[in-house]
Amino acid sequence: MSSLKDVTSSKIEGKNQIKPIPNWIKKNAGWWANGKIGDHAFVSGIQYLIKENILQIPNTQEGSKNVRNIPVWVKHIAGFWAEDEISDSEFLKSIPYLVETKLIADP
C-alpha cells in the first residue's frame, strides 16, 4: 500500500474524482528529462497512467508499437513537472499529443 508521500494527486479534466499519480512516474519524468533513462522507460510510465485510467485519452486510433522520436518540448515539460515548476494537469495536457500523433501506443 502506498503512503500519501508516495503519490501526487491530479484532477482529471471533466470529472470531480481525483486519481493519484504515483510518485515514481514523476521521478521517471525527471530522469528522462535529464537523460538518465530512455524513451521506452518514460513511455512505459505514461502507458501505465492511461491503462490505470489516471490519464484518460479520447478515443484515438492505436499508436505506434515502437517509440519514435518524442519531441524535445515534451522532455522539457517533463523536466519542469519533475521540478514542480508546472502542475500535474499542465504536464498531463502534453500526453494526448503523443498518442494522437501515434508516437506512443494507447495501451
3-state secondary structure of 92: helix
- What pLDDT is stored for residue 81 in this prediction? 95
- What pLDDT is stored for residue 28 in this prediction? 95
Q: Per-residue pLDDT tens for 48-58?
A: 988 888 887 76
Q: Per-residue pLDDT tens for 7-50?
A: 334 444 444 456 788 999 999 999 999 999 999 999 999 889 88
61, pLDDT greater than 60: no
Q: How far is CA 62 from CA 4, 76, 80, 102, 104, in A?
A: 34, 25, 28, 7, 9
Percent of the chain at pLDDT exceeding 70:
70
Mean pLDDT within 61-73: 64
Residue 52 neighbours by CB distance under 10 Å: 13
